[in-house]
Structure 1
Amino acid sequence: MTSIPMDLILDILSRLPEKSIARFLCVSKLWGSMLRGPYFTELFLTRSLARPRLLFAVVEYGEWSFFSSPQPQNPYGKSSLVVAADFHMKFSKGRNPYTSSYANGLIYFSSMRISKEEKYDDVHMICNPSTGQYVILPELRSYRQAGSFLGFDPIDKQFKVLVMACVYDDHHILTLGTGKMSWRKIQCPLSHERLGEAKCFNGAVFYLARKTDDWSCGIVCFDVRSEKFMFIDAKHFGVSLHTQLINYKGKLGGISLKYACDGGFPLELCMWVLEDVEKRKWLKYVYTLQADNNLVKVKNNLFVVGTTATGEIVLSKDKGSIIINTIKPFYVFYFNPEKNTLLSVEIQDLGNAMDTGTGHGWFNGYRVYAFADDVEDLKFNIMNTTCAPASISPPEQKRKVTSTSTSSTKDH
């Protein structure tokens, strides 16, 4: 190793998964210092941004298993691909998460049971699926929760957890960091009811909401850094419970799907994009997705997972649907609005990868959650937090999943 230049060693290490970097911190004090240094963390983030992944969370019998697969980069006119699913970690039986929130590579569980014994209460927990590490947050006793989510401030590089109560003046917020973490009370001047799940990007958390005074619908924006709330009027947006918020090339957007009268195809994809924040100017785009062999297999249970940095809309199986039999392949779809192309991606042997000796595999029903554009970032080390950090070792897989690709001549 002494004959290999240190710059070359760091260049090689920057191409490895975050889990490997977490292990290599223990090689020596020198390696630990270098891998925690600003030069390497910036280099690793640059490499990671160039290889974003699609993160999967599979829920079966109260167990959460995490996988990821590469997002296609420049498929060169192909209409279908087959990619591998890499297994990361698994929460053992007895851990029963009820709600979750994703931000910048970390996942927050507002109600996780960490013991099989009933005497243990549910706890707030943050986990890093890429490294298999998790941390239990300080106990919070408040009124009945109306929702909670994880936010990320890209300027100060801080994660914050906001827990909202049904009582408007009993909300709490916690900043993750190296110091002693504690919950702080925070007030929201907007009296509203949350309607949908939250999306975090550009240093803010967005979610659909309805004002309690006049019941008008819109979008609530919570600025993570300033901890201020703002209500975005979206009356021309056509907000409904089926609208899914997205980050479209750095701009706030929303998508609703509309199938044909018989529940089949063609499928209409209606997208609104907030072009001017101050003037509340929304632009509307409507696209039609024709029937595709793989697209038809998921019937009318598609869900907008998110978007890629290049503006592709990622669709997958509706996470609210319980899938009973996984003999059929699992698909995700990348729709490019500018080119009007649809790429079908089979996540190869995802079910077999999960069957790690439990005996029942995926054949008794499960739900799949997916998160697009997942990027690994070393700047926040979850093990630096002060509240009960721990690591979960994933069980061995029966066989390794390989990566292949196919192409189709069918036009879309």
Structure 2
Amino acid sequence: MKRVKRSKNQDERIVNDPFTNLANDMIIEILMKLPPRSIARLHFASKESSSIILDKKFIQWYMTRSLTQPRYLISLHRGGYMQMQLFQSLSQDHPYNHNMVSYEMEPDVLYEFTPPVRGLICGRDFTKMIVGNPSTGQFVSLPRVKTRRQDILSVFGYDPVNDVYKVLCMTVVLKRSHMSRNGNAVSWEDIVSEEHQVITLGAKEKWRMIECEYRHRHNSGCKGIYKDGFMYYLATYQKKRSLMSFDLSSEEFNVTKLPEDQMLQQYGELVNHAGKVTIAYQAYNRNVDLWVLEDANKEVWSKNFVVPPLSIDFFGRFRDLVFMGILGTGEMIFASR
């Protein structure tokens, strides 16, 4: 057998590697102070640094530290013949520091992203899906959703019991069987989601079909949210708008009734307000009504409202502000109409 000679450059790299000359505690302390993008680069620097960074304890420590230093995630979209989607992730404390990360998506694919979960986001364009970290600019593709359906809802979340990330997808399609014998169309409220499937992120990831005992249809155009091991999304159940929940550990569904409020039944979107599942909508009087879920088991809701400030443009005219969402810090986002 021919003996393979070790290159001098490889020997020099090992000798000059600072991680081999420092104690693990000191290395961890140094790594904990680095921004996410630097951590991502050091993962490929050496075996020593990679083993520390990929260790579950270090990941948990770094995640805990990162949650105390939230970041803004800005999405820009330019339409036209060539679509473009640009993400920028920057510190809330120092929004213009050198740690700002920009990432440009594929020019021919327009992803619709779920709200961030523990620093990761999930994007979908019909059956094509990606998951990534906007703070580092690293994204990976998931297997395509197994469906030919037209209306798809996807929700991204984290299973704390098994320490894994999962994506839930539901699909529905209008077809000939939705026409009655006398030729009249079946009510849209009678149509339910036909497929429920889950994928667990990992080395051998693939979509799995699961059963749901509640015949419901997810509301098109509404986004789901994640909170404490559960996914939440709005759906039509027994011809009424309801709140669906999905336990990421047991992979079981549950349904919660909404208050008997006409506006709530027609409008509103899910948000995480002050750590609670909330349905928010902007009423005709400009106020933002917040229906907060206080107890899911007892179906107890409370109602608050927020009066947005008046905005004056460059010409001294008053402009209405439109509610756009809520940050993790509890701050509300408004944009000029």
TM-score, length-normalised on structure 1? Answer: 0.62
Query: Residues 268 and 169 (structure 1 numbering): CA distance in 2 closer, same or farther, change over 3 Å?
Result: closer
1:151 and 2:165 aligned? no
Question: Partner of 1:250 in structure 2?
Answer: 275
1:28 and 2:54 aligned? no
Output the amino acid matched with 2:63: L
**Contact 1:298/1:317 (8 A) holds in 2:** no
Aligned partners of 2:318 and 2:129: how far apart in 1? 34
1:255-289 per-position Cα deviation (integer Å, ceiling 9, x unaligned):
222354xxxxxx42322222222221111223323
1:197-254 per-position Cα deviation (integer Å, ceiling 9, x unaligned):
111111111122222x4x2112111122211111110124652454122223332222
Q: Which ranges of 4 or more aligned residues in structure 1 deviate by more than 4 Å?
A: 1-6
**Contact 1:246/1:307 (8 A) holds in 2:** no
Output the amino acid matched with 1:163: C
Aligned partners of 1:164 and 1:298: how far apart in 2? 42
1:74-108 per-position Cα deviation (integer Å, ceiling 9, x unaligned):
xxxxxxxx9438233111422333x3323412222
Aligned partners of 2:121 and 2:306: how far apart in 1? 32
Query: Shift of the alpha carbon at 1:35?
Result: 1.7
Question: Partner of 1:303 in structure 2?
Answer: 323
Aligned partners of 2:230 and 2:224: how far apart in 1? 10
**Contact 1:67/1:88 (8 A) holds in 2:** yes
1:43-69 per-position Cα deviation (integer Å, ceiling 9, x unaligned):
211220110112122222322211123
**Contact 1:217/1:235 (8 A) holds in 2:** no
Query: Shift of the alpha carbon at 1:292?
Result: 5.0
Question: Partner of 1:162 in structure 2?
Answer: 168
Query: Shift of the alpha carbon at 1:6?
Result: 4.3
1:296-324 per-position Cα deviation (integer Å, ceiling 9, x unaligned):
99944533422435xx2321438xx8xxx
Query: Residues 17 and 302 (structure 1 numbering): CA distance in 2 closer, same or farther, change over 3 Å?
Result: farther
Question: Partner of 1:226 in structure 2?
Answer: 250
In the TM superposition, 1:57-72 aligns within 5 A as 57-61=75-79, 62-71=83-92
Aligned residue-pair number: 288
Structure 1 or 2: larger helix share?
2
**Contact 1:258/1:269 (8 A) holds in 2:** yes
Question: Partner of 2:141 in structure 1?
Answer: 136
In the TM superposition, 1:258-277 aligns within 5 A as 258=283, 260=285, 267-277=286-296
Question: Partner of 2:175 in structure 1?
Answer: none
The answer for unaligned runs of 5 or more in structure 1 is: 73-81, 113-121, 261-266, 322-412
**Contact 1:168/1:188 (8 A) holds in 2:** no
1:166-225 per-position Cα deviation (integer Å, ceiling 9, x unaligned):
1644322111113x11111112222223222111111111122222x4x21121111222
SS at match of 1:58: strand
In the TM superposition, 1:1-12 aligns within 5 A as 1=18, 6-12=24-30
Query: Residues 158 and 38 (structure 1 numbering): CA distance in 2 closer, same or farther, change over 3 Å?
Result: closer
Question: Partner of 1:359 in structure 2?
Answer: none
1:287 and 2:287 aligned? no
Query: Residues 269 and 141 (structure 1 numbering): CA distance in 2 closer, same or farther, change over 3 Å?
Result: closer
